[in-house]
Structure formats: structure tokens, C-alpha cells
Amino acid sequence: MSRELHPALRAARLAWRVFDGACRAVINLAVVAVLLVVLVALMFPRGGPKVPRGAALVVAPSGVLVEQYSGSPVERARERLLGGGEDETLVHDVVTAIREAKDDDRIAALVLALDEFAGGGLTKLEDIQRAVLDFRSSGKKVIAVARSYGDASWFLAAAADEILLDPQGAVGIEGYERYRTYFRSALEKLSVDVHVFRVGTFKSAVEPFLRDDMSPAAREANLDWMGDLWRTWLDEAAAARGMPAERIAAYVENFSDVILEHRGDTASAALDAGLVDELVDRLAFRERMIDLVGSDRKKKSYRRIGFRDYLVAIGKDERPHPRGGPAVAVIVARGEIAMGERPPGQIGSRSTGELIRRAREDDDVAAIVLRVDSPGGSAFASEEIRRECARAREDGKKVVISMGSVAASGGYWISTAADEIWAHPTTITGSIGIFGMFPTYPRLLDRLGVHVDGVGTTPLAGSVRPDRPLPPRMERTIQAMIEDGYRDFLERVAEARGMDVDRVDAIAQGRVWSGIDALDLGLVDRLGTLDEAIARAAELADLGEDYKVRWVERRPGLREKLVAELLNTRLAAALAPRSALDGLLARVPAARRVLDDLDRWTRLDDPRGLYALSPLPAD
């Protein structure tokens, strides 16, 4: 017997279905509309930012300076959406904007707004400082402004005509440091044994697992290269500022006494030391800029344009990929070196090798410049990338290495198959050495009452298990593999640099050198910038003056751009969940550093477990 619904209930159900269908249709139409708008914006960009006449170009770098963004556009957008990741600014973008603005009649001044700037390697700071000093030669004014300055931000500010500081601010210059977290005692308390195999007196990457402090050898090497960088920092900052380097050094070395003399007033202390020109708050700064470049009534501020909008407005928001005609290909190899496919910001044996191969197979490309900014990584992956460079040379392409802030260990390994190696004076390079590491924890299991036992058909079966002791025979075997890898490294360097192996061994041993020392030791051919290395590559390829510079990189497809644009919308940002851990780590930077350091070790993936990796950061 069927039960019929009351007419009123049937009407209500029908009304609900109509309402639900209408809502779904409206939502689907809204989503499609948003997709179409983003798609049209990507395919037919119009109505973008305009450059106001007589405006100030505002260079406000956020986060750290890098040679290449980390991750794909979608990954970066997702990180921003979830409140994670780290802000990054391409040094290429900053330098390009400043260079273009120098001769742009619409730009009347340059403002270095440095509140959100977190720093970068000295080579990157030098590139921007040179661009600022060149901009000043046009007669246009440069003003630096910040609530407070640190080492990196003041180095850039020193190139300005005026340095302005908030009355509540400070100039806190510290110099260079190298402190690490050491785990030996913690591992001992946990009954975890870390078996380390290495070659090189100075190969200190694995020291945190062997010691509770820095070894004398590592202390000596670190003080050596940091001393070179600090002296260069002082000399170049002082020259840009037009004051004696000794005066800056005295301020840093006697900082506590200086602040006490000023009864804790850090701003006036910086003013009296000549590190800033005037103490100005935000309101006064805005009024000063209105007097200089005029007002923008819509924004209720001075007439200005940010450097990212400026690059879009002049069509320079992407690195050039010109087609046709003789070219020098530039490939960025930034980050740690690992096997396989890796996202931007990391060097993968397959992904980076594919970029080199694309340049090699391009008939228009006569020379390749590989920009290396890497502390190293997998020895196997490093060798695969080196082979790609060697193959390019065999095919008649000139190959020039341009070292960035760091090109050490595996970063130096991949540099050996080149016609010439260029470094900045402040590049950190060398660290020619190999290590392997294998942790075991049977003692920990024993304390917990857990025991491992069994049989194998050969002595090798089950011998490399973290829950069993590492047999002495296997320890000797692994050490032999490490020593063989080190010999390979030495031979690669000896052949590339025209040295005998004993000479290379004497300057290798895992020791880190500055670019200045590397030139003296014969590890690099010349000191110079990326632009100079590109010009040299063109010269080696006999291209004359008429050639193009083509950046070879992974370019996102339309779908990837579309998803990234959607993730960057305000609606998506408003709906994004925030991680409590991210919030905590943002407040406790030391915790972030420890977790990042541990995460670094989890990414090691060499098939043989051999690593040419320095303890230095990638940037």
C-alpha cells in the first residue's frame, strides 16, 4: 500500500529542489565567470598598471633575495594562502626595475623601502647596490627609509642620497656569524648511533651528529671566509656611504657602549654615528615625498609606483626568452642537488639536466651560462648534471659557470665541466669533499625491550638496517665507497683546473673558501658579475655584440597560471585556514631553524648514499 505525501509536503519538497538547483546553478555560473575573467586576463592582459609621470619608483623587497623562486606558481600561491613558506624577491627583478627606471623620464626618484626586507647573500646585495649607485649617476634622488635597519638593509641604504630612520628605530649591524645546532648528547641519551663516513679535515656538514660543538678545523675555516665577507661588506658599504670603514666598524664593535652613552636612544645613536641622515616618522616622510614628486589624490600619498607594477607596466615582468638569432642561454641552478625531477628552487638531476639539454639542442644557442647558487647535495645527481654540461661542450657549445652567493661541494662539482668559472669576490665555494651517514638505533630498541633477530642467506642480507648494529665489515665497505667518491671528485677538479690530484687534495679536504681565495688557489678563473660572465660567454662563442640573452627555465602552462591566479584571489585568501604551527614558528625563529635543518637531512636521496654537501645555506 503506497503512502502519498500531503500536498503541502509535496509542494515544499518541490520548492526545495527548485531552490537547491537554482543555488547550484548560481554558484557554478559564478565559478565559471571567475574562471573566464582570469583566463581572459591571462590571455589578453589589458588595463594593467600605468607609470605616473614624475613618480617615485618604490623598491620594497619582501623576504629574502633569491636567484630563482622556490616552487611552482601554484605551490607559491598555495603557501601564501595557507600562511606558510617564506617571502622571496628575485634579485633580477629588483636590478632590472632600477636599471630601466634610470633612463625613464617618468621616474623622478627612487625610494628604498626596507621594512619587509629579510636579507640575502652578499653577492645579491652587491648587485642591487651597484644598480642603485648607477641610478644616482642620472641625477635622480635616492631615499632609503625604514623603521629599523639590519646588516642587509643598511648595506643597500648606504647607496642612497639620504637614509631616513624612524625616531623609535635603530641601526643594528651585527656582522657575519655561523652557529649550528648540535645533537650528539641528545642522540646518546636516545641511544641512537649515527655512523658517519667522510673524507676531508674540514668536511663539517655532519659535525652536528658527531659533536656538541664546532671543531677547531671548522672554526678556522669559517672565520677565514666570514672574515673576507665582513671586510668586503665594510669596505663597500663605507664607500657607498662616503665614510671611513673604521667608523662603521667602531660603531658595531662598541655598540653597547654607544647605546649606553645615548641612554638607550638607538635612533639618536645611529644619527650621531653618521649611519642615518635624519630621524623621520611615516607622516613626515610622506609629506617630504609629496614635496619631491607631487601627490596622488586617489591614494592620498605621494606619486609612486612599486617596482613589481613598474616591471609589468614596461613589459619586463618576465625574464627574456627571445627566439631567433644567436643567443647565450642562461640557466639558474639554485638550491640543494637531488635526484630526479625537482621544483624551482631545487636542483634535480633530471629537471636541471633537461634545461641544459634544451639549450644544447637549440641551434640558436652558441653558449650556456649556468648560474650556480647551491651548497651541493647528492654526488650522483651532481655528476649527472656535470655530464650534461660536458656533453654541451662536446657539441660545440661554450659553457661558462657564474657562481652566486654559494657554489660549494656539489655546487662546485657541477661547475667543473666548463670553459671558464666565474665567481663573485664574496662567493662561498670549495668544500671539495664527500660524506655518507647512516643512523642505527638497536640500543634504543633494547631499552624499550624490543629485539631484532633472524637469518639471511649472505653476510650482506639485512646488514644495513637501522634496527641492527652496522657490521664492521660494512663500515669498512662504506668508507671505501666514500674514499672512491672523493677520488672521483679530486680527479674531476684536477682535470678541469689543470692541476695534479695532490695539489687539489691539499686545497680540498672539505674546506670552504671565499671567491677571492678561490681565485688565488686556481679554483675559479675570474671574478665578476653574472652580466660579465654572460658577456664573456658571448666572446668565447665569437658572437660579437649582436646576440640575445635567453633565460632557459621551466615555464608554467596556462592551466598552472590559471590555478595560481585563482589561489591569489582575495576570496581564496579570506577562506584559507591558518596553521597553528606556522603561527608558532613565526614567533619562535629558532624552532623554525631547527626544523628546517632536520628537514634538510630527510631530503637526501643519493642512490649510493654519497653526498657532496656543505653545511652552508643555499642563498
Which residue has cell 629485539? 451
Task: Exactly one of 153, 349, 402, 409 is catalytic; name it.
Answer: 409
- Give catalytic status of residue 141 as yes or no: no
Residues near 159 by beta carbon (within 8 Å), at least 6 away in sequence = 129, 132, 133, 136, 142, 240, 241
Residues near 451 by beta carbon (within 8 Å), at least 6 away in sequence = 445
How far apart, in whole angstroms, are the C-alpha atoms of residue 197 and residue 211?
14
- Give catalytic status of residue 189 as yes or no: no
Using an 8 Å Cβ cutoff, are 119 and 233 in contact? no
What is the CA 382 to chain-centroid distance, rounded? Answer: 19
Q: Map residue 16 onto helix, strand or coil.
A: helix
Task: Exactly one of 102, 140, 203, 397 is catalytic; name it.
Answer: 203
Amino acid 233 reads W
DSSP 222-257: HHHHHHHHHHHHHHHHHHHHTS-HHHHHHHHHTHHH
Instruction: Tell me the C-alpha to C-alpha distance, in Å, between residue 458 and each of 471, 473, 500.
Output: 13, 13, 41
Using an 8 Å Cβ cutoff, are 359 and 548 in contact? no
CB atoms near residue 188 (< 10 Å): 12
Which residue has cell 661554450? 398
Question: To 10 degrees, the CA torsion angle through 431, 435, 441, 442?
Answer: -150
Using an 8 Å Cβ cutoff, are 364 and 325 in contact? yes
Q: Map residue 113 onto helix, strand or coil.
A: strand
How far apart, in whole angstroms, are the C-alpha atoms of residue 348 and residue 351?
5
Using an 8 Å Cβ cutoff, are 429 and 423 in contact? yes
CB atoms near residue 189 (< 10 Å): 9
Q: Map residue 80 onto helix, strand or coil.
A: helix
Using an 8 Å Cβ cutoff, are 490 and 508 in contact? yes
Amino acid 401 reads I
How far apart, in whole angstroms, are the C-alpha atoms of residue 571 and residue 15?
30
Instruction: Tell me the C-alpha to C-alpha distance, in Å, between residue 305 and each of 56, 288, 314, 570, 592.
Output: 6, 17, 12, 21, 34
Which of 431, 397, 447, 582 has the alpha carbon at shortest distance from 511?
431
Q: Return the C-alpha cell found at 617.
A: 645555506
How far apart, in whole angstroms, are the C-alpha atoms of residue 50 and residue 116?
24
Which of 278, 191, 176 has the alpha carbon at shortest distance from 229?
176
Enumerate the β-bridge partners of residue 377: 337, 612
CB atoms near residue 365 (< 10 Å): 21
Using an 8 Å Cβ cutoff, are 490 and 199 in contact? no
Give the H or E element holding residue 163.
strand 162-165
β-strands 162-165, 347-348: how paired? unpaired
- Residues marked active site are found at 203, 409
